[in-house]
Amino acid sequence: MTLKTYQGSCHCKAVRFEAQIDLAAGTGRCNCSYCSKIRAWGVNIKPDAFRLIAGEEVLSDYQFGTKSGHHRFCRHCGIKMYSRADVAELGGALVSIALACLDDATPAELLEGPLQFANGRDNAWWDTPAETRHM
């Protein structure tokens, strides 16, 4: 495992964070109704590997369905940077980082690890959907 601390932000830079991530361990895409709409590509980390540096006061929160996830986004520019959730099947408490919001991750780093697909549409995130080409 090779953890690296990445810096991330929203588009207007009002919200900034840092996250310790091992990108070589893999990243993921989900087919749930929310992730499908935003074409999410992310990585899940433990909450203690995430630190909000600035912008707590401009964050908005969106929840849907089971309300197990808190999708945090900047109310100024609308960019969703991360979500917080607690899903037993995924190891409990987690922070899901939107890879597109990492300011210092190189394309090579982003592509280094395997890409995993999650079947959130059927609330079975631990399973790979039958079809992934659209994700």
Region 3-18: what's the mean pLDDT?
98
> Is residue 91 assigned to a domain?
yes
At 41-72, the pLDDT tens digits run 999 999 999 999 999 999 999 998 888 889 99
> Is residue 69 assigned to a domain?
yes
Calpha distance 122→33 (Å, rounded): 10
Residue 30 structural domain: 4-122
Name which of 46, 26, 23, 42 is nearest 34 in CA terms: 42
The model's pTM is 0.91
String of b and e for 32-65 (b: at least 16 CB within 10 Å)?
bebbeeeebbbbbbeeebbebeebeeebeeeeee
> Is residue 134 assigned to a domain?
no
String of b and e for 91-100 (b: at least 16 CB within 10 Å)?
eeebbbbbbb
Strand partners, 6: 19
> Is residue 129 assigned to a domain?
no
> Is residue 135 assigned to a domain?
no
* Residues 55, 27, 33: CA angle, nearest 5 degrees: 75
- Please classify residue 10 by burial: count the beta carbons closer than 10 Å to its beta carbon, then call 0-12 exposed, 13-18 middle and 19+ buried: buried
Region 119-128: what's the mean pLDDT?
88
Kindly report the CATH number assigned to the domain that includes residue 14. 2.170.150.70
Number of domains in the chain: 1
